Amino acid sequence: MPEGDTVFRAARALDAVLAGRTVTRSDFRVPAFATVDLAGEPVHSVASRGKHLLMRIGGQVVHSHLKMEGEWRVFRLGEPWRRPAWQARAIIEVPDASAVGFELGTLEIFPAGEEAQRLSYLGPDLLGAEWSALEAVRRLSSSPEMPIAVALGEQRHLAGLGNVYVNELCFLRGILPTRPVADVDLEPLVDLASRVMRANRERAVRTTTGDTHRGRQLWVYGRASEACRRCGTRIEHGRLGRNALELRESWWCPKCQR
């Protein structure tokens, strides 16, 4: 599932292939940007911010968000794509490689000077060079009555956490996902979020248990009715969100989380 660590690795891989090279062909398969042509423009960098991926090309930024199904893949020129062509939303080619964005949840192109303003709503990036735990705590504290699981998933509080990390962090800190923010010791929770995310940014297989074997990487996420790995109690499952239209799946151990 694409969360901050997944997007960080994707941006790094794309940067290694594209940065410092000149675009030979671009193809954006969304109506709003179908006429944009970046051929001849230099690729300055590819970077991530939270769950957002930013390609800085010439005077433009190609901004994408993977959502649930999206991904970027790199191919040698002429190499067959290993996903259907109809799923491609963006193609960026340089002299010896092609970067293809499949099923991107968001794709837009805007002037480079607008990047800071357009992403200003995001909280501190857990994997960013300018990460600030103090600012993340301050932003979380601004929603004292919000359930902590909902608050952690709010990208305006801190950028990069998705539902996997939200559920796992609540377990690791022994916190019920429904507990209001005001009743949570935020500093150690935010510190743990940073440490766990950074520990996983170099791993192809995400783990919060420390075990990378299949089926043993996570404590509670996706494990409804299974035995808690710590105490043996059955994992419970529910849904939480800011409103009925934004409900997300939640898992917890009723004994280990209070």
Q: Which residues are catalytic?
A: 2-3, 51
Residue-by-residue DSSP string for 196-214: HHHHHTT-SS--SSS--ST
> In the 8-state DSSP scheme, what is residue 154?
-
Q: Rg of the chain over CA atoms, in angstroms?
A: 20
3-state secondary structure of 20: coil
**Rounded distance between C-alpha atoms, residue 125 and residue 189, angstroms:** 15
Place of tokens 């507990």: 179
> Which residue(s) pair with 100 in the sheet?
73, 91
> Which residue(s) pair with 250 in the sheet?
238
The answer to whether residues 140 and 133 touch, using CB atoms and an 8 Å cutoff, is: no
**Rounded distance between C-alpha atoms, residue 52 and residue 46, angstroms:** 11
**Rounded distance between C-alpha atoms, residue 125 and residue 173, angstroms:** 21
In three-state form (DSSP H/G/I as H, E/B as E, the rest C), the secondary structure along 106-157 is EEEEEEHHHHHHHCCCCCCECCCCCCCHHHHHHHHHCCCCCEHHHHHHCCCC
